[in-house]
Structure 1
Amino acid sequence: MTTPLLDTRTLDRETARALPPGPRLPMMVQTVMFARHRAWYLPAVRRRYGDVATIRIVPRGRVCVVLSDPVHIRELFAQPITTAHTGEGNVVLRPIMGDNSLLLLDEDAHLRMRKQLMPAFHGHALRGYRELIARLAVAEVESWPANQPFRVHDRMRALTLEIILQVVFGMTDGDRLDRLRPLLDRVVSVDPVIMLGGFYPRLLKYPPWRHYVGAQREADATLYDEIAARRVSPDLAGRTDVLSRLLQNGEWSDVELRDQLVTLLLAGHETTATSLAWAFHDLARMPDVMRKAQDGDDEYLEAVTKESLRRHPVIYQVSRRLAEATSVGGYELPRGTTVMAGIGLVHSDPAHYPEPDEFRPERFLGDNPAAPWIPFGGGVRRCLGAGFSLLESTEILRATLTRHDLRAPNPTPEPPKPRNVTLTPAHGCTLTASRRS
């Protein structure tokens, strides 16, 4: 049963007075500020209203309580699965990922789906992906132009898409791959405006939403062809890609498989590509740090990845919808409240990370005291692909930095720019690469 949103239709005056404080700007103004400038707007809200604040955004003035204190965020992540619904908090993703996406399910349905997915992303399975990731990464960085500016984010998106297609989808058919690459790129390059269809399904009948749905249907047709072929593949038992592992270890309908594959595509392609672009953005502007990373040490390369995810949160916040009234952050929040854990707010807090604007991978080395680091969320809803993402990033960093020196033609840092649910370098992380001697 869907939990009704707490919004202007369901919020009474007494409840409104008991909510945490927040800006009184018109709902559409707050929506635009949140959608387009969240990395500026949410810190400004925190400075003005404190660690627990209320904003109101689409649809219908939805009540969103934003948390920025790690203690309060842990309270949220520790809520029972019957109390804090992540799937309902991610409803904006429904037109892209589908009804069966792991990110859109709650309670028993989520636990059942997660249990079937877990074997493909743990232990032995992860180690088995390393060689293919490394080979694809080397092929990509060997093709980079020498001493000519290019947009690294574009190259990372192409590389992580290829990794998803081969490691996750297990696709090797050349014609089918050639058809699917541009279609999937259109599917994951969704504008925040398109995502409004998650709240207003009637929009999907009109352009530009209708055009997006058309591209999605073309991509789906190719994915369903691949799923059908894989089900009867004579070598299914010997394959190690994620799709084949899912078919070997679970009971799946074609629609369920499609929704999980698209979820893994969006969650594991765009986010990893963006975090890598930010890592290269900072390394190119800090030659001393880049030289340390060029030694290819696993621990340091992983620390580079973690510091990039801290300094440039790709996903700035994650949401839960309260299925029942509960206490979070010192407030009794009513049923239907959307509660946002401010990942970017925690990672930029000098109380946890001194001089937070500095890029320092050493924060994540050795015996340094653990600070709150939550780019993959937390609790039972922590990102299933966290280990895969760190492995992938480490191998791509190694392939790149052992072969190239990077330089930023413009030393001025690039500001973040919203792209679907992520925050990317505004100019695509424009760099030059020169081969190391």
Structure 2
Amino acid sequence: MAEPTPLLGARTLDRQTARTLPPGPKWPTLVQTVLFAGHRKTFFPRMRARYGDVFTIRLVPSSRVVVVLSRPEDIRDVFTTPPTVMHAGEGNQVLKPIMGDHSLLLIDDEDHARTRRQLMPAFLGNALRGYAGMIADLARAEVESWPVGQPFRLHDRMRDLTLEVILQVVFGVTDSARLAELRPLVDRIVAVRPIIMLGGFYPQLLRLPPWRTYLETQRRVDEILYDEIARRRDDVAGRNDVLSRLLAAGSWSDVELRDQLVTLLLAGHETTATGLAWAFHELARRPDELAAAQRAADSGDDERLEAITKESLRLHPVVYQVGRRLTETVDLAGYRLPRGTTIMAALGLVHADGEHYPAAGEFRPDRFLSEDPPAAGTWIPFGGGARRCIGAGFSLLEATEILRATLSRYDVHPVRPEPETAQPRNVTLVPSRGCEVVVTPRG
């Protein structure tokens, strides 16, 4: 494995180079980091309004230089530049104690290309269609258990359901006793807090609580996953879960498989649950859109159900930005950016730009059903290029089945008419009140 590219930051940035960077605020690094971590959905638009479509911020650790891009053509350049030049894995190293050395999110170059090739068969075509029935069964069982006529936080129920999809459809765990043991353990793993991620920057913390406690839970989950992997190696015949397909399609060590499974858990659980919560948040406040969605659920119009998910992810970006680290000096967005610069593609700024989306602040699923759909490169919730989220198709399929199961059964009403604001939770932006709704049987 190649040596990491040194960050461009307080220790490596000279004054002459600093003068050639895009403009940006001169506030202390800690202030900018707090604004980015807790208020990025307002911080980034204000920085763009003040400094333009390309601007520079400084973030911990090491007061690193982060160049933020908001033009689709510049972001397209990031996604199409050879991944050997734009390293994504190096920017995610804070996740290594959780996801492991072999995680698809943490590796670059040939290691990434090889691992992605082995993962792809489990997330394409026939494989995806094979998961639909399992997801639909889990979705129907979940929505049947909802409290009818009483307010509840739908985001919590979506998190429960997407966790169940991970356990049964991805991990392939179906034994009731093992599921009962795994659910609370995995729930603690996916509830990773930002303070736990500091262990990736400062490994000495891992010997102390709460880091030690988190790792102890992780070790117990790992024991179960390794046992499932061993059992599955002995018998994958007739099984249709993701783990079984990975074993059938590639050559993996147990550690590599474990790291990919934990990555799929952490990358695919909260994001899908949050996207669905925002979709129901919007449908509940728009009777016409809700009625159209229910007709689609009844008639099997998956195209409209998918359009609802796409518009939800556009209007409420679950992940607001993605990052890369330059391994060599690059000309990008009108600037010559030196090796070690962190590039941040602000997906949320693109999605909210009225140039690409007329009435960008409104929820309009028909944007994705018209004869003039959004231009290529302007809808990018799953990233792009060689690092585009490998589970994008799985996520859209899962959302479609969950929308169908819910809308076939219920009318959905908001508890309060005013919309919920976006609140940061780890790397995602979630509904501030958990998407409070009331469901009633359809008339």
> 1:356 is matched with which residue?
360
CA distance in 2 between partners of 1:71 and 1:268 (Å): 27
Q: TM-score, normalised by structure 2?
A: 0.96
Select the residue among 362, 366, 377 that pairs with 2:370: 366
> 2:323 is matched with which residue?
319
CA distance in 2 between partners of 1:183 and 1:33 (Å): 32
Amino acid at match of 1:22: G
Select the residue among 139, 142, 145 that pairs with 2:144: 142
Q: Which ranges of structure 2 fall in alignment gaps of 5 or more residues?
A: none
Query: Shift of the alpha carbon at 1:405?
Result: 0.5
Kept in 1, the 8 Å contact 2:232–2:244? The answer is yes
SS in structure 1 of the partner of residue 26 of structure 2: coil
> 2:116 is matched with which residue?
114
Kept in 2, the 8 Å contact 1:35–1:192? The answer is no
> 2:104 is matched with which residue?
102
For structure 1, which segment, 11-20 or 91-100, has the greater mean C-alpha deviation from structure 2 after superposition?
91-100
**Residue 124 (str. 1) matches residue 126 (str. 2):** yes
Select the residue among 55, 58, 83 that pairs with 2:57: 55
Kept in 1, the 8 Å contact 2:320–2:428? The answer is yes
Kept in 2, the 8 Å contact 1:6–1:338? The answer is yes
Select the residue among 323, 334, 341 that pairs with 1:337: 341
Q: TM-score, normalised by structure 1?
A: 0.98
Query: Shift of the alpha carbon at 1:209?
Result: 2.0
Amino acid at match of 1:244: S
Kept in 2, the 8 Å contact 1:237–1:248? The answer is no
CA distance in 2 between partners of 1:257 and 1:274 (Å): 26
Kept in 1, the 8 Å contact 2:53–2:71? The answer is yes
CA offset digits 1:53-73 (Å, max 9, x no partner): 111111010111100000110
Amino acid at match of 2:418: T
SS in structure 2 of the partner of residue 65 of structure 1: strand
For these two proteins, the number of residue pairs brought into alignment is 435
Kept in 2, the 8 Å contact 1:180–1:219? The answer is yes
CA distance in 1 between partners of 2:17 and 2:97 (Å): 32
**Residue 435 (str. 1) matches residue 437 (str. 2):** no
> 1:46 is matched with which residue?
48
Select the residue among 200, 215, 218 that pairs with 1:216: 218
> 1:310 is matched with which residue?
314
Amino acid at match of 1:61: S
> 1:380 is matched with which residue?
386
Matched-pair identity in %: 66
**Residue 407 (str. 1) matches residue 417 (str. 2):** no
Kept in 2, the 8 Å contact 1:275–1:309? The answer is yes
CA distance in 2 between partners of 1:429 and 1:91 (Å): 32
CA distance in 1 between partners of 2:168 and 2:292 (Å): 31
Amino acid at match of 2:248: Q
CA offset digits 1:184-234 (Å, max 9, x no partner): 11111111222222222222222222222222122112111211222223x
Q: Which ranges of structure 1 fall in alignment gaps of 5 or more residues?
A: none
SS in structure 2 of the partner of residue 391 of structure 1: helix
SS in structure 2 of the partner of residue 104 of structure 1: coil
CA distance in 2 between partners of 1:320 and 1:95 (Å): 20
Amino acid at match of 2:23: P
> 2:263 is matched with which residue?
263
Amino acid at match of 2:347: I
CA distance in 2 between partners of 1:38 and 1:92 (Å): 19
Kept in 2, the 8 Å contact 1:190–1:419? The answer is no
Amino acid at match of 1:147: G
Query: Shift of the alpha carbon at 1:26?
Result: 0.7
> 1:203 is matched with which residue?
205
> 1:173 is matched with which residue?
175
Query: Shift of the alpha carbon at 1:162?
Result: 0.7
CA distance in 2 between partners of 1:219 and 1:238 (Å): 25
For structure 1, which segment, 362-371 or 377-386, has the greater mean C-alpha deviation from structure 2 after superposition?
362-371
Select the residue among 422, 425, 434 that pairs with 2:428: 422
CA distance in 1 between partners of 2:400 and 2:9 (Å): 43
- Please tell me the root mean square deviation across aligned C-alpha atoms, in Å: 1.0
**Residue 14 (str. 1) matches residue 16 (str. 2):** yes
**Residue 162 (str. 1) matches residue 164 (str. 2):** yes
Query: Shift of the alpha carbon at 1:240?
Result: 1.5
CA distance in 2 between partners of 1:107 and 1:240 (Å): 30
CA offset digits 1:89-127 (Å, max 9, x no partner): 222222221111001110100000000000000000001
> 2:33 is matched with which residue?
31
Amino acid at match of 1:380: A
Give 4+ residue runs of structure 1 displaced > 3 Å after superposition: none
CA distance in 1 between partners of 2:11 and 2:204 (Å): 19
SS in structure 2 of the partner of residue 358 of structure 1: coil
